[in-house]
Amino acid sequence: MKFSSIVLAVFALVSTGLADKTCTPSFDYCSDVLIKSKGFTADDLKDVLKGTDLEKEDIKNILFHCKNPGIVGHPKLCKSGCKDSSQEGSHTCDG
């Protein structure tokens, strides 16, 4: 296999992985929703927390804000856990 073919194959795999992550901008999501139905992995969400004061928190207790389709940030700690809602993007902190 030629080097250019390898590079193209790797690019295709990376592009496919990025394309699978979706979320609606300005909506908030609990980690379980992002993982189960939005294409994110636990590692993706842990990466968002790196370098923040929430880095060592359990991602189940974090509310993530969708900044752009496929990009989450602005994590917020939910001390009593993140609460899912039946409405898209209407997740909040318990208590």
- Measured CA to CA, the distance from residue 89 to residue 24 in angstroms comes to 7
pTM for this predicted structure: 0.75
Mapping DSSP onto H, E and C, the string for the chain reads CCHHHHHHHHHHHHHHHHHCCCCCCCCEEEHHHHHHHCCCCHHHHHHHHCCCCCCCCCHHHEEEEEEECCEEEEEEECCCCEECCCCCCECEECC
Q: What mean pLDDT do residues 57-71 have?
A: 94
pLDDT at 32: 93
pLDDT band, very low/low/confident/very high, at 19 (cuts 50, 70, 90): low
